[in-house]
Amino acid sequence: MIRKSRKEDLNRITELLHYVEDIHHKLRPDIFILGGIKYNKDELKEKLDKASSIFVKTIDNNVVAYIFLEIRFGISFNKEIKYLYIDDLCVDKKFQNKGIGQELVEFAKRFAEENNCHQILLNVWENNPAYEFYKKMGFREQRRILELKL
């Protein structure tokens, strides 16, 4: 079952956030701090109150995955667009390759359609294993950000 997150989910969501940050640290230790976290508990509590926010996948009443969604507005070639941004998605390692990530993306698609969004956007690091998952789900590169390390 996918449902809106609640306060009692915060500890589990925090555990999963640490898991994601550890993956990012291994990919880019020059950018991500070992043991770091994207959102602290106060920031997560604020997100709980938003309609487009944190949704969790539960199995036997246990949170096994989450997806952070934000409805955003932007300007593209002088045209305002409404889009859904996937801020974060995590499936507990023990539950990966069981269709849960796909289920969360399908949920995001329905959420975007119900909210009249033009598209769904997300960011993924080039060498992140999730990159191939997103391509399989139909995501394509919209643009590239290049870096020159100093």
Q: pLDDT (tens digit, 9 = 90+) per residue, 90-128?
A: 999 999 999 999 999 999 999 999 999 999 999 998 889
* 76, part of any domain: yes
Q: What is residue 91's predicted lDDT score, i.e. its pLDDT? A: 98
Q: Long-range contacts: 130-135, Cβ < 8 Å, 24+? A: 130/89, 133/101
Report whether 111 contacts 75 (CB < 8 A): no
Helix (H) or strand (E) run with residue 136 in it: helix 130-136
Domain count of the fold of the chain: 1
In angstroms, the first-to-last Cα distance of the chain is 46
* 102, part of any domain: yes
* 131, part of any domain: no
Q: Domain range holding 43?
A: 2-122
pTM: 0.91
Tell me what the mean pLDDT of segment 72-89 comes to.
89
* 150, part of any domain: no
Q: What is the CATH number of the domain that holds 54?
A: 3.40.630.30
Residues 47-59 pLDDT 10s: 888 767 899 999 9
* 63, part of any domain: yes
* 78, part of any domain: yes
* 31, part of any domain: yes
